[in-house]
Structure 1
Amino acid sequence: MHCDTIVLGAGIVGVSTALHLQARGRKVVLIDRQQPGNGTSHGNAGLIERASVIPYAFPRQLSSLLRYAGNQQSDVRYSLKHLPKAGPWLLQYWRHSGAKGLAAATRAMLPLVERCVSEHDQLSEPAGMQHLIQTSGWIEAYSSPVAFAKAQQDAAALKEFALNYRVLDRTQMHAKQPGLHPDVIGGIHWLDPKTVSDPGGLTRGYADLFVARGGVFVIGDALTLQQRVGKWEVLSEQGLVVADEAVVTLGPQARGVFEPLGYKIPLAIKRGYHMHYAAQPGASLQQPLLDPVGGYVLAPMVGGIRLTTGIEFADSDDPINEIQLRRCEELASAFFPLGERLNAEPWLGRRPCLPDMCPVIGPAPRHKGLWFNFGHAHHGLTLGPVCGRLLAEMMTGAAPFTDPTPYSAERFH
């Protein structure tokens, strides 16, 4: 099977990249070991996060570091046996999270975040997926007066980014979301983001659009990728696929391709979980709720109320550990009345993260025709379409809408 471009990985980033390359005239084959949208793209909180203009940084305050060191928190948990392996990467992350590094990451990511909603709109409308996307934003909920006051200060400090939000007092908060625990004293309603009630379904809808427009999706093993006689080849269930170009959009699995080729890109995994719950009689979750103190999100999904956890640092292949989920479950039940679990076991996802809080988007420096688009951390769903557009512009010689230098793979060499 011959084509212009092989796209390896059919998550939201890969599917979006394939669509943008297709729209610019490339004959594309999209390859994954499973059906589209079943990896990390399936299990997130469903936020197209236009309001996240400041990347998630490593905590720098001593009080925060001491609190996490006890490993009893709900938002971040770590495996003791994994720490020696993760230590060097965490040190890099800590260094980049200083004032200068965080400011640089914020500047680099802003052009992508600013366009995240409009780029989704360009795909969701022709894909017929608008029924999965809501425009009511999401809400931070607070039961601590101190935390609520600080959140209002932090929101006001983002004035230069012209974000739209409303501060909700106790009465407004409970009117906006009936059924909340009486201890909830207020919240911040972020209005610019859109939310998705089935992230995996949205990705599959985009993949269907790619196929309807003449693209080809095949089941195959990205780790068989090799360069031979100036071409890129990969094995699929339909035989060998051969192309002039290959794009690595494998998210947490990208290391399996770039490391054998000699690239030392510090890609790490932040694990996370989700579980679906029934609603208690008479209770209905109106839009996603974030408990910033507890570090979890409750989101209305087609499969029930989805609770997504924060970060777990553990080996990628370690078995499921319910400690963090149970901690979040207990906190969440004190915010909103959750019913019974609807899944037999928690879903485990792996977020692909880089220490400077920016993805890798662009050419592989030492291999002609090889391109990268991975490392989107907590915002793969948010950034998939806009990063697919940026890479397609670079690959087809169009003027990129923003300077791609901050995302270059060469920054690690």
Structure 2
Amino acid sequence: MQSAIILGGGMVGVGAALHLQRRGWWVTLIDRREPGRETSYGNAGMIQAEAVRPYPMPRDLASLLKIATGRTNDVRYSLSSLHLHIEPLLRYWWHSAPRRHREAIEAWARLIAYATAEHDILIREAHADNLIRRAGYRALFRDAASLDLSVKAAEEDQREFGVNYRVLSGSELARAEPILRDDLPGAIHWLDTWTVSDPGALVTAYAELFVRLGGRIVLGDAQSLRQTATGWSVDTDQGRIDAAHAVVTLGPWSPDLLYKFGYRIPLVRKRGYHMHYSGGASLDLPLVDKARGYAMGPMAKGIRITTGAELTGADALATPVQLASAEASARELIDLGKRVEPDPWFGTRPCTPDMLPVLGPAPRHPGLWMNFGHGHQGFTLGPATGRLLAEMMSGETPAVDPTPYRPERF
């Protein structure tokens, strides 16, 4: 029986563990915390079938000036930490040129096409349907011109990728979400996306399925990973664990571990914040406020606001500016009520400069594999890329050509 250590207990790691397990592998999942407690816990709670285009870096001067001068809430940065991001940001800018972004879209969309189908299998097997709603989300707009531009882009996505949507006028949006103010021009209702009332609980349900099927989850230190004569080993609270293969699914921490093996994987680390609110209005479906760069959706703990990207240091203290701006914008639309937690949660999205995950075998270390760098869509893509990785590790013909995602491109 083939054996593997999975380092990282988020959606990506758990997805890989389950797909290897169903192919007859003996799998141990190792993390410093229980599964689903890091980035997978704190996202906006969407399995996004419509997210067929990875986010490019703006290249027009007007957008760059807005970011540089702090006049947009989509992206903010810490001046004292900006030097840490210069190299990956320059690469990101280069890869965001139209032709190269088009290549990224084609490779990205092939993964997104498998996202909901792979989740659906695990949702049913994990008996987690109570966490899922298959009704989409609404992207709302504050001016008609922005809505019109986005409708044209949605039409193109429907023609090319088959995504489904419905355009809502201002009056239709007001009827669908009566708690919203009634002077908005409209929204796009993305119909194929599934929403999750507790993202961390879904990862936990998948992890419990993995254990029920014979998998093992232990607490351990990923940085203790070392190559042995027979494969790989990691130190855990249950002692040393050995396996023939090791898979790095540590999200934004993956390059730090791989550095000691000689790999230099660039990442744009995008921090995001969330906060829950209760005692106010109740949302029907999640809303994305396109003009103000945040999402809010109904969750088990109340309405969760999730922010855009903050470029800061990995160990930097939380800064309240982005969340405060998003909260103020949301209060212009609905009665949010009061904050549930005393302090905001924050985590980091691991974004590669070419906007594609790092997925496949390590070029110079037999038995070492990588699966990280999913950007904003690790929660969406975890089971899909877990399947692709397991197919590669098991010698099967992959459902998707893995060439664009291979680590050696860096």
Fold conserved between structures, TM > 0.5? yes
CA distance in 2, matches of 1:386, 1:149: 32
Q: Which residue of 1 aligns with 2:148?
A: 149
Deviations 1:58-102 (A, max 9, x none): 001111111111023211100001122211111110010010111
CA distance in 1, matches of 2:69, 2:387: 43
CA RMSD of aligned residues (A): 1.1
CA distance in 1, matches of 2:48, 2:316: 29
Equivalent residues in 2 for 1:210-225, closer than 5 Å: 210-225=210-225
Q: Which moved more, 1:74-83 or 1:232-241?
A: 74-83
For the residue of structure 2 that corresponds to 1:343, the secondary structure is coil
Deviations 1:254-294 (A, max 9, x none): 122110000011123110000000141xx210111001111
CA distance in 2, matches of 1:328, 1:131: 29
Deviating above 6 A after TM superposition, structure 1's stretches of 4 or more consecutive aligned residues are none
Unaligned 5+ segments in structure 1 are none
CA distance in 1, matches of 2:150, 2:163: 14
Q: Which moved more, 1:104-113 or 1:140-149?
A: 140-149
Given residue 253 of structure 1, which amino acid in structure 2 is its aligned partner? W
Deviation at 1:3, TM superposition (A): 7.4
Work out which of the residue numbers 312, 315, 318 in structure 2 matches 1:317: 315
Q: Which moved more, 1:379-388 or 1:271-280?
A: 271-280
CA distance in 2, matches of 1:18, 1:293: 39
CA distance in 1, matches of 2:175, 2:400: 41
Deviation at 1:376, TM superposition (A): 0.5
Q: Which residue of 2 aligns with 1:97?
A: 96
Given residue 216 of structure 1, which amino acid in structure 2 is its aligned partner? R
CA distance in 2, matches of 1:107, 1:279: 44
Q: Which residue of 1 aligns with 2:28?
A: 29
Deviation at 1:314, TM superposition (A): 0.3
Equivalent residues in 2 for 1:39-50, closer than 5 Å: 39-50=38-49
CA distance in 2, matches of 1:101, 1:183: 39
Q: Which residue of 2 aligns with 1:182?
A: 182
For the residue of structure 1 that corresponds to 2:111, the secondary structure is helix
Given residue 86 of structure 1, which amino acid in structure 2 is its aligned partner? H
Given residue 256 of structure 1, which amino acid in structure 2 is its aligned partner? D
On the 8 A contact 1:184/1:335 being kept in 2, the answer is: no
CA distance in 1, matches of 2:51, 2:210: 28
Q: Which moved more, 1:75-84 or 1:358-367?
A: 75-84
Unaligned 5+ segments in structure 2 are none
On the 8 A contact 1:3/1:242 being kept in 2, the answer is: no
Aligned residues: 409
For the residue of structure 2 that corresponds to 1:365, the secondary structure is coil
Deviations 1:157-183 (A, max 9, x none): 222212110000112101111100123
On the 8 A contact 1:279/1:305 being kept in 2, the answer is: no
CA distance in 2, matches of 1:279, 1:307: 15
Deviations 1:316-345 (A, max 9, x none): 110000011101111111122210000110
For the residue of structure 1 that corresponds to 2:125, the secondary structure is helix
For the residue of structure 1 that corresponds to 2:160, the secondary structure is helix
Q: Tell me if 1:235 matches 2:230.
A: no
Deviations 1:27-67 (A, max 9, x none): 00000000000000000001111101111000011111111
Equivalent residues in 2 for 1:300-379, closer than 5 Å: 300-379=298-377
Q: Which residue of 2 aligns with 1:258?
A: 258
On the 8 A contact 2:142/2:291 being kept in 1, the answer is: no
Q: Which residue of 2 aligns with 1:201?
A: 201
Q: Which residue of 2 aligns with 1:7?
A: 6
Q: Which residue of 2 aligns with 1:54?
A: 53
For the residue of structure 1 that corresponds to 2:244, the secondary structure is strand
Q: Which residue of 1 aligns with 2:77?
A: 78
For the residue of structure 2 that corresponds to 1:38, the secondary structure is coil
For the residue of structure 1 that corresponds to 2:173, the secondary structure is helix
Q: Which residue of 1 aligns with 2:378?
A: 380
Deviations 1:95-125 (A, max 9, x none): 1001011101001111110110000001010
TM-score, scaled relative to structure 1: 0.97
Fraction of identical pairs, as percent: 48
Q: Which moved more, 1:63-72 or 1:40-49?
A: 63-72
TM-score, scaled relative to structure 2: 0.98
